[in-house]
Amino acid sequence: MKKIGIIAKEGRSEPIRILEELLPWIEEKGFTCLVDEEAAKALAKRGYPRAEIAELADLIITLGGDGTILSVARLVCARGVPILGVNLGGLGFITEVGRERVKEAVEKALACEAECPVEERMMLAASIKRHGELIAEYSVLNDVVINKGASQRIIDIEAYVNGALMTTFRADGLIASTPTGSTAYCLSAGGPVLYPTVAGIVLTPICSHTLAMRPIVLPQEVRIEIKPVTKNVEVYLSLDGQVGFNLREKDVVLVTKSPHKAKLLMPFERDYFQVLREKLRWGSR
């Protein structure tokens, strides 16, 4: 491991202050730092496009929140590059390291796998077909979301599992999420929390028209086809809440387990239930 990619949340001053101390310290250890363009500009250093960092780096450190990790995971999952997430955001379910332990965590990450174990997280593959032709495909760490446009009240969405009709959801939308994504939009829509390493996919309707229409956990090997069938309405596809576009009538969204996994470095011992108690205030009165 020689090349360390560093990607910071844009428009924040705190990552720059951390990097002013962290970069010289890493470089003194004999590593090359590849800093994303915006952060590098603030530091008066040479910067690299994020896509180039994803191609060159042996390890990536993110300075930001969960959103920063989500975007980086999509970039590097095909190469299997491990990610060390430093939480400078709010909730921080995925970002493992607090700002006060940055140097300690990086030192473990630069040492070896024994010092800093890797936790592999399931990702989803989403492909969109229009008139039978593949028009886009993505890997996502959190979720694939079908949502109604702002002016519509409700939409009908057919869901098929392994070719068999599951049901037609009458709702504001439908979420297909990973266990990692179960604490994101899925949770807000009333879905269950899945332990991060559980092998499953959660389907959660958004504001279902029928109270009996509840979330369901499916095996990770299933093939899910999602078809918005309401005519003459706006329907939007969102991936990890960061990428998306408008769907057209008769478009089909295919969701399966991705062949790639996100590799998250875990420099410190972690009690997931403590995370739930702290982040979701479980047990509080």
Q: Known catalytic residues? A: 66
* CB-neighbour burial class of residue 55 (10 A; exposed 0-12, middle 13-18, buried 19+): middle
DSSP, collapsed to helix, strand or coil, labels residue 282 as: coil
Instruction: Using the Cα atoms of residue 190, residue 195, residue 196 and residue 202 in order, give the sign of their dihedral.
Output: negative
d(CA 215, CA 205): 7
Using alpha carbons, select from 156, 94, 120 the residue that is nearest to residue 260.
120
Instruction: For residue 256, give the 3-state DSSP assignment.
Output: strand
Do 149 and 189 touch, CB atoms closer than 8 A? no
Q: Where do runs of H (alpha helix) occur along 79-172? A: 102-111
CB atoms within 10 A of CB 113: 10
